[in-house]
């Protein structure tokens, strides 16, 4: 008989291999009812793999589990759900052509005489979205039209929509801002009070300290330790994750601002980008802050030509003549790169190898008379795999089989291999582990020191305050305020972020 008293789920000696690579080694741990159990580890440590085995979407190849004292080996996701185990996935798994409401209640669409009862469906979806703070999202909107942050909220709502005994949340807050995270934590506390056991995977250490009762550290597929959360500091948790002591200080910004690299004037594109104007200088890191739905992603997509401008002008350098950017191809030709937040849809060719993914935007440099040089491709890939610390079994490992954080590193590497003057990063550290985050900050500081101009969109305000020279705050599609480094404060930036949203939204935010 495996399992220990009080545990709702006991995992014993679980192993998993993918091809020749062993990802989990004899993993043991327990989850208790009414407790939030954090699982932390570096990118590629095996967290998602373990979570998927529990949620029935991967099969273990050794070991055993018990759920409520009975043997448990789910045949698939539905089987796990029948036993009360659900998972909110790290990689968004929604159907882009279905609406928000349909995605949330996919497995349990309300019907009347065999026909879907849309009125009831929409009401239930609205209630659920309001509970987690997205009151202003139309539930009949196709999910494919939403930004990653909103999609993440829909995924969470779907996870919360059904009753369960054990809920796994795999990096649920990776692109949420403080306000949405607060509301999610209210829901988690409510579930905890109802006795639900939760496995909470995150790279955001402060959040783990805030919400978890227990923390387990996984390193290279092995359990390193399990502790009550109060008995470890964040530093001690991180040191256990990486197996060595790491420096936490991001490289100090020495703002040697150069000439103007990019100027946008009265940019308008759809309802979420209204009259945005700003200058970006060579050697400068400009942050874009704001709540989910404020228009951060839409603004950078408009600059990059991914969404059509309705009006406004973009100037490169200190010239009086504006440039026309009608497509990403135009933007790239003008030396502007956008490293997108949605690696699955826009950033990566999933079935292709890491090497091919890095090579694709650089084909012109790697080919001669239209023929790609395999040697040049390999050299380029090797260099970026090393400098970007991408964890892969071989350069040609398909991108879809990398861990989430390592996929993100490939997206960044593929754009850095190309030499652009203006680099726009949309949520660059989404899903990236603590150590690798500092590597990315250092890489950005280095680009700025080399005279590149950087725009960084991030839902993590503390991250922006650490790495930016200035922070522009968007609120409901408008530029609410811009702060220079000596005026950074969480309170004033958050106040600017809320400033233009509607009154209902404001009271909700204040409550959260």
Segment near ligand ATP (CB under 6 A); pick from 18-26, 176-184, 227-235, 360-368 = 18-26
Closest residue by beta carbon to ligand ATP:
405
Q: What is the 3-state secondary structure (H, E, C) of 124-152?
A: HHHHHHHHCCCCCCCCCCEHHHCCHHHHH
45 lies in the binding site for ligand ATP (CB under 6 A) = yes
The distance of closest approach from Cβ of residue 82 to Mg ion in the complex, given in angstroms and rounded to an integer, is 25
Residue 100 or 174 with smaller CB distance to Mg ion = 174
391 lies in the binding site for ligand ATP (CB under 6 A) = yes
Residue 49 or 147 with smaller CB distance to ligand ATP = 49
Report how far Cα 413 is from the mean position of its chain's Cα atoms. 17
404 lies in the binding site for Mg ion (CB under 5 A) = yes
CA–CA dist 127, 466 (Å, integer) = 37
The distance of closest approach from Cβ of residue 2 to ligand ATP in the complex, given in angstroms and rounded to an integer, is 23
Q: Choose among 467, 507, 511, 475: nearest CA to 492.
A: 475
48 lies in the binding site for Mg ion (CB under 5 A) = yes
Sheet strand arrangement including 7-18: 21-32, 7-18, 64-67, 70-71
Q: Angle at which helices 374-387 and 404-416 pack, to 10 degrees?
A: 120
**In sequence order, what are the residues at sequence separation of 6 or more whose Cβ sits closer than 8 angstroms to the Cβ of residue 386?**
none
Residue 161 or 397 with smaller CB distance to ligand ATP = 397
Segment near ligand ATP (CB under 6 A); pick from 234-242, 255-263, 328-336, 399-407 = 399-407
477 lies in the binding site for ligand ATP (CB under 6 A) = no
The number of residues in the chain equals: 512
Segment near Mg ion (CB under 5 A); pick from 228-236, 315-323, 361-369, 396-404 = 396-404
23 lies in the binding site for ligand ATP (CB under 6 A) = yes
406 lies in the binding site for ligand ATP (CB under 6 A) = yes
Report how far Cα 170 is from the mean position of its chain's Cα atoms. 10
For CA atoms 420, 426, 432, 437, the dihedral sign is positive
Q: DSSP characters for 266-307?
A: EEE-STT--SEEEEEETT-EEEEE--TTSSHHHHHHHHTTSS
Q: Which two tokens stand for residue 221?
A: 């597929």
Identified binder of ligand ATP from the candidate list 27, 30, 40, 49, rule CB under 6 A: 49
Residues 51 to 110 in contact with Mg ion, rule: CB under 5 A:
90
CA–CA dist 151, 149 (Å, integer) = 5
The distance of closest approach from Cβ of residue 405 to Mg ion in the complex, given in angstroms and rounded to an integer, is 7
Identified binder of ligand ATP from the candidate list 30, 36, 44, 174, rule CB under 6 A: 44
CA–CA dist 189, 36 (Å, integer) = 9
Site string for ligand ATP, 417-436 (x = CB under 6 A): --------------x-x---
Q: Choose among 211, 212, 214, 233: nearest CA to 225.
A: 214
The distance of closest approach from Cβ of residue 170 to Mg ion in the complex, given in angstroms and rounded to an integer, is 6
Residue 43 or 161 with smaller CB distance to ligand ATP = 43
From the list ligand ATP, Mg ion, none, partner contacted by residue 401 (C-beta under 5 to 8 A by kind): ligand ATP
Binding site for ligand ATP (CB under 6 A): 18, 21, 23, 41, 43-49, 90, 391, 401-406, 431, 433
């Amino acid at each position: 008989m495996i399992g220990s008293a009080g545990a709702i789920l006991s995992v014993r000696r679980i192993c998993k291999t993918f091809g020749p690579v062993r990802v989990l080694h004899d993993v043991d741990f327990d989850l208790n009812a009414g407790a939030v159990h954090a699982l932390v580890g570096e990118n590629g440590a095996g967290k998602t793999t373990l979570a998927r085995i529990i949620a029935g979407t991967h099969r273990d190849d050794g070991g055993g589990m018990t759920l409520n004292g009975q043997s448990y080996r789910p045949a698939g996701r539905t089987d796990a759900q029948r036993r009360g185990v659900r998972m909110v996935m790290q990689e968004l798994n929604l159907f882009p052509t279905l609406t928000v409401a349909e995605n949330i209640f996919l497995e349990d669409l309300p019907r009347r005489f065999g026909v879907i009862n849309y009125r009831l469906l929409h009401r239930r979806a609205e209630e659920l979205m309001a509970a987690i703070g997205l009151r202003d999202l139309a539930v009949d909107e196709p999910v494919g039209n939403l930004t990653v942050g909103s999609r993440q909220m829909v995924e969470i709502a779907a996870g919360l929509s059904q009753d369960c005994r054990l809920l796994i949340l795999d990096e649920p807050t990776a692109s949420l801002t403080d306000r949405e995270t607060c509301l999610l934590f209210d829901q988690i506390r409510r579930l905890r009070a109802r006795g639900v056991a939760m496995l909470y995977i995150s790279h955001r250490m402060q959040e783990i300290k805030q919400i978890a009762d227990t923390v387990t550290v996984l390193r290279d597929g092995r359990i390193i330790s399990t502790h009550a959360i109060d008995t470890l500091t964040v530093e001690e948790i991180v040191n256990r994750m990486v197996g060595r002591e790491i420096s936490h200080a991001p490289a100090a910004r020495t703002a040697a601002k150069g000439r103007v690299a990019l100027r946008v004037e009265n940019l308008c594109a759809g309802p979420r980008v209204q009259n945005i104007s700003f200058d970006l200088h060579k050697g400068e890191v400009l942050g874009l802050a704001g709540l989910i739905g404020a228009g951060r992603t839409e603004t950078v997509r408009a600059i990059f030509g991914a969404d059509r401008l309705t009006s406004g002008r973009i100037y490169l350098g200190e010239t009086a003549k504006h440039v026309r950017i009608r497509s990403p191809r135009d933007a790239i030709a003008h030396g502007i790169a956008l490293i997108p937040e949605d690696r699955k849809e826009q950033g990566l060719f999933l079935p292709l190898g890491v090497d091919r993914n890095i090579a694709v935007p650089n084909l012109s440099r790697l080919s001669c008379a239209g023929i790609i040089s395999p040697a040049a491709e390999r050299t380029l890939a090797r260099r970026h795999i090393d400098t970007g610390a991408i964890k892969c079994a071989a350069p040609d490992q398909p991108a879809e089989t990398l861990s989430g954080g390592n996929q993100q590193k490939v997206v960044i590497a593929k754009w850095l291999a190309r030499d652009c003057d203006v680099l726009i990063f949309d949520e660059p550290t989404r899903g990236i582990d603590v150590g690798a985050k500092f590597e990315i900050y250092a890489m950005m500081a280095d680009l700025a020191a080399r005279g590149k101009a950087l725009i960084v969109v991030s839902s993590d305000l503390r991250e922006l305050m650490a790495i930016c020279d200035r922070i522009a705050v968007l609120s409901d599609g408008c530029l609410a305020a811009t702060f220079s480094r000596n005026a950074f404060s969480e309170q004033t930036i958050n106040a600017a972020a809320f400033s233009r949203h509607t009154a209902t939204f404001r009271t909700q935010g204040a409550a959260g």
